[in-house]
Amino acid sequence: MAKVIAFNKPFGVICQFSGEGDTLANYVNIPDIYPVGRLDKDSEGLVILTDDGYLQNRVSDPKYKKIKTYVVQVEGEITNTATSALEKGVKLKDGMTKPASIKKIEEPDWLWDRSNPIRIRKNIPTSWIEISISEGRNRQVRRMTACVGFPTLRLIRISVDRWKLGNIKVGSYVSF
């Protein structure tokens, strides 16, 4: 039976088990388990880990079009023009993105304090969106929001395919 772990990755943690700095090894002490895809150091939220190579490939390979959903705080009051562009796909340096599903949302009431707070500019408001994508390019959501003029300030992954972040505490994990 495959081991599957859902981990709530804190800001600043590197999504690997070895190397310098704060890594997954500081939070998950289960042998022969590996992350399914990556979540960059500056991002937070759901990371799936497994010991099943087949499952890892089926979830992380873009050809299987598994949906990943993020809650994103952006700089500025995001416009309908920007969300429409994201829904259609935007041109990045490495090509067009596939269409994304976008929803403007209120700041989530379940947010935790971050160890390194986001920068705040008194005269520039922020807004929140929920974005779902089926690709997994390097820092893709951040590059997409910047492309439409609304840089990402905070990014939290809340689901990967059928797995949800739910109420997993930051730095903790649950087994499935």
Q: Is 40 a catalytic residue?
A: yes
Q: pLDDT at residue 28 above 90?
A: yes
| Res 176: pLDDT | 86
Cα–Cα distance measured from residue 125 to residue 45, given in angstroms and rounded to the nearest whole number: 23
The mean pLDDT value for 26-48 works out to: 94
Residue range 86-143, pLDDT digits in tens: 999 999 999 999 999 999 999 999 999 987 877 777 788 999 999 999 998 889 999 9
Instruction: Tell me which of 117 and 167 has the higher pLDDT.
Output: 167
Q: To the nearest whole percent, how much of the chain has pLDDT over 70?
A: 100
- pLDDT for 6-26, tens place per residue? 999 999 999 999 999 999 999
Query: pLDDT, tens digit, for every residue of 59-72?
Result: 988 888 899 999 99
DSSP string over 127-164: EEEEEEES---TTHHHHHHHHTT--EEEEEEEEETTEE
CA 99 – CA 96 distance, rounded (Å): 9
125 class by beta-carbon count within 10 Å (0-12 exposed, 13-18 middle, 19+ buried):
exposed
According to the model, what pLDDT value does residue 61 have? 86
Catalytic residue among 22, 32, 40, 51: 40
Is 0.85 topped by the overall pTM?
yes
Q: How far apart are CA 124 and CA 92, in angstroms?
A: 25
